[in-house]
């Protein structure tokens, strides 16, 4: 009797990195020695990808956004997997978006202070909303445009941040969309239903040659919204100082700087570290749900410290 040999696991081809708390420190700077490590990853055959909760406009403000393609892939995944941003051309492609009319509907219910992410730009319905948003994310005031009718801005709406949203507004929104209370102002963030880093990355990679899946990815993160990605990839690494949920979802938890762990890191090591069984179980629905926060909890903005630079 001839027994067929087990199919060889696919090579790990991508290294997916969260930004704030993983690649970046509290001031938004690339952590020490990581520039060299990223270059070494590329040389070893791994493609370094960014998968972040940041808005496109927020990402563009980072010095890291200008890194050469030899250190970081040109396309980055933002908005917790809802948006692909091509650094070289500035092109923004939405993978998920809110239904047309969502912004207008919120304004009609009395939500006066909100910021919408539209076509990669940030548009506020009031000066107060713009001020609160830029303060929450430590951004320059010029980054957010003010328009009393943000629904008129061209492009698809991939997220809305509502300030002072009462619970009688938050509850029906949660029934139709993904919602979370974020930041020091407990703002209500509204995203398209099913938004998560794992689902977004799986959809993004499906268009690559060979249609690679998450079993070809080693992922690195530290925050609640990284948990699903760490659980779903071939290797999930929770970096030093990661929160409990992401650490519990990871295959490996670091007690050393990320740069040290990445020294001499290669695809073969990435493939064997997790001991994960490679299968098609994440092919249709890569989201494990690990990133979803209990509705009673509030949180800091995805991937970002609410007060960057403060101790």
User: Which residue has better confidence, 239 or 167?
Assistant: 239
Asked if residues 17 and 262 have their Cβ atoms less than 8 Å apart, the reply is no
Q: How confident is the model at residue 284 (pLDDT cuts 50, 70, 90)?
A: very low
Q: Which residue is listed with tokens 């090591």?
A: 269
CA separation for the pair 8, 25 (Å, rounded): 38
Burial of 43 (0-12, 13-18, 19+ CB in 10 A): exposed
The answer, yes or no, to whether residue 238 has pLDDT greater than 50, is yes
The answer, yes or no, to whether residue 260 has pLDDT greater than 60, is yes
- Domains annotated for the chain, with CATH where assigned, are 14-94+196-273 (3.40.50.1000), 102-193 (3.30.1240.10)
The answer, yes or no, to whether residue 41 has pLDDT greater than 60, is yes
CA separation for the pair 253, 261 (Å, rounded): 11
Burial of 257 (0-12, 13-18, 19+ CB in 10 A): middle
User: In degrees rounded to 5, what are phi and psi of residue 120?
Assistant: 90, -5
* Nearby residues of 116 by Cβ (< 8 Å), 6 or more positions away: 103, 122, 123, 124, 125, 150, 151, 153, 157, 159, 160, 161
The whole-chain average pLDDT of the chain stands at 85
CA separation for the pair 304, 18 (Å, rounded): 10
* Nearby residues of 230 by Cβ (< 8 Å), 6 or more positions away: 219, 221, 236, 237, 238, 246, 249, 250, 251, 290
Residue-wise pLDDT for 117-126, tens only, equals 999 999 999 9
CA separation for the pair 239, 223 (Å, rounded): 9
Q: How confident is the model at residue 266 (pLDDT cuts 50, 70, 90)?
A: confident
CA separation for the pair 197, 54 (Å, rounded): 12
The answer, yes or no, to whether residue 290 has pLDDT greater than 60, is no
What three-state secondary structure class fits 233?
Answer: coil
User: In degrees rounded to 5, what are phi and psi of residue 289?
Assistant: 85, 0
Residue-wise pLDDT for 139-163, tens only, equals 999 999 999 788 777 789 999 999 9
Q: For position 309, what pLDDT does the model report? A: 31
Most confident stretch, 9-13, 175-179, 263-267, 298-302: 175-179
Asked if residues 170 and 140 have their Cβ atoms less than 8 Å apart, the reply is no
Scanning the chain, the segments in alpha helix (DSSP H) are 34-44, 56-60, 102-108, 127-137, 167-176, 197-205, 227-232, 244-249, 258-262, 267-273
Q: What's the pTM? A: 0.85
CA separation for the pair 50, 59 (Å, rounded): 10
Asked if residues 48 and 15 have their Cβ atoms less than 8 Å apart, the reply is yes
Q: For position 21, what pLDDT does the model report? A: 95
Average pLDDT on 24-39 reads 92
Q: For position 289, what pLDDT does the model report? A: 56
């Amino acid at each position: 009797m001839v027994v067929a040999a087990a199919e060889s696991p696919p090579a790990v081809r991508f290294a997916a990195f969260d930004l704030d708390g993983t690649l970046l420190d509290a001031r938004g700077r690339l952590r020490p020695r990581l520039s060299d490590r990223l270059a070494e990853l590329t040389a070893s055959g791994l493609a370094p990808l960014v998968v972040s909760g940041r808005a496109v406009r927020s990402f563009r403000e980072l010095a890291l956004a200008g890194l050469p393609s030899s250190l970081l892939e040109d396309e980055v995944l933002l908005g917790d997997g809802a948006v692909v941003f091509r650094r070289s051309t500035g092109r923004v492609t939405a993978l998920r978006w809110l239904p047309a009319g969502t912004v207008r509907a919120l304004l009609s219910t009395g939500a006066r202070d909100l910021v919408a992410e539209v076509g990669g730009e940030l548009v506020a319905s009031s000066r107060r909303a713009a001020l609160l948003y830029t303060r929450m994310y430590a951004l320059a005031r010029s980054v957010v445009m003010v328009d009393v009718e943000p629904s008129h801005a061209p492009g698809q709406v991939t997220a809305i941040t509502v300030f002072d949203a009462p619970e009688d507004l938050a509850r029906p929104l949660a029934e139709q969309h993904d919602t979370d209370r974020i930041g020091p102002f407990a703002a209500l963030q509204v995203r398209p239903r099913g938004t998560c880093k794992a689902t977004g990355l799986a959809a993004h990679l499906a268009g690559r040659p060979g249609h690679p899946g998450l079993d070809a990815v080693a992922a690195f993160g530290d925050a609640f919204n990284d948990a699903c990605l760490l659980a779903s990839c071939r290797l999930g690494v929770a970096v030093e100082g990661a929160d409990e949920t992401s650490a519990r979802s990871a295959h490996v938890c670091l007690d050393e700087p990320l740069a040290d762990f990445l020294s001499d890191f290669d695809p073969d090591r990435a493939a064997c570290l997790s001991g994960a069984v490679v299968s098609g179980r994440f092919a249709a629905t890569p989201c494990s749900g690990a990133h979803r926060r209990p509705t009673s909890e509030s949180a800091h903005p995805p991937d970002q410290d609410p007060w960057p630079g403060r101790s």
